Amino acid sequence: MKIDKFSYHLGAADCFCEMVCAGVKRIALSHPCDTKDERDGFLPEFDTLCGKYGVRYYVEDEAFLTDLFPLSLNQGKYNVIFFRMRPC
């Protein structure tokens, strides 16, 4: 069964939110999106996920260019940062 890109990225975001809630990760990044519109298309679903896990998100318009990811993965891309304010 082939999974579409939107569903795949949403499933990964669900996992990232669960890890942040559990304290496994302090923050997590969504998959990078090529455009703001693509990224913003996930926001209603991210609202639901964050409510489910008791975490929050921040919409980031600046690319994360670090040694953690190849430049080709994030340069010119748009992300969402998942985080928690207190233990879930």
Mean pLDDT of 62-80: 83
Residue 87 reports pLDDT greater than 70: no
Residues 67/40/17/1 CA torsion (nearest 10 deg): -90
Averaged pLDDT of the chain: 91
- The pLDDT of residue 88: 58
Residue 54 reports pLDDT greater than 90: yes
Residues in contact with 1: Cβ distance below 8 Å, sequence separation at least 6, in sequence order: none
Higher pLDDT, 86 or 81: 81
- The pLDDT of residue 7: 94
The single-letter code of the amino acid at 58 is: Y
What is the residue extent of each domain of the chain? 5-83
Confidence label for 62 from pLDDT (cuts 50, 70 and 90) = confident
